[in-house]
């Protein structure tokens, strides 16, 4: 409710999309670095429900403790045949932007969690 209230009053909400999502997070499985990854769908859901664009942003560490905020062009919600397909499509788009950002600045990411811990039904685990 606080997120919706903030967005409706022109606030800014940041959401981290490179984390393994639980079922309670409203997850979907989309490609991320060539593997299906459990990803939050709430970013796409909020974009659709509130008719708001998504503004991808990256924090790039520089020298001497400086940071540069990289803001990319807004992503408008793209509709598909059904709401479910639309949510999946847009979540996949957001992950593609994130993947491109990581490929441009791989030294900026240090994952200490198991990004592909949860697997789609029937797929074998990635980690031992």
Tokens of 36: 């299906």
pLDDT, one tens digit per residue, over 95-126 is 999 999 999 999 988 878 899 999 999 999 99
pLDDT classification of 60: cutoffs 50, 70, 90: very high
pLDDT at 23 over 90: no
The helix/strand/coil state of 87 is helix
Q: State percent of the chain over pLDDT 90.
A: 76
Mean pLDDT along residues 86-100? 97
pLDDT given at position 38: 95
């Amino acid at each position: 409710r606080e997120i919706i209230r903030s967005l409706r009053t022109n606030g800014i909400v940041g959401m981290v999309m490179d984390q393994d999502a639980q079922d309670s997070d409203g997850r979907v499985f989309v490609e991320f670095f060539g593997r299906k990854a459990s990803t939050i769908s709430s970013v796409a859901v909020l974009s659709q429900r509130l008719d708001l664009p998504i503004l991808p942003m990256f924090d790039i560490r520089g020298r001497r403790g400086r940071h540069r905020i990289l803001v990319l062009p807004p992503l408008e919600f793209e509709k598909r045949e059904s709401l479910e397909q639309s949510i999946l499509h847009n979540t996949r788009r957001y992950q593609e932007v994130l993947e491109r950002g990581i490929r441009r600045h791989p030294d900026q990411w240090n994952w200490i969690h198991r990004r592909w811990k949860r697997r789609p039904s029937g797929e074998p685990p990635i980690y031992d």
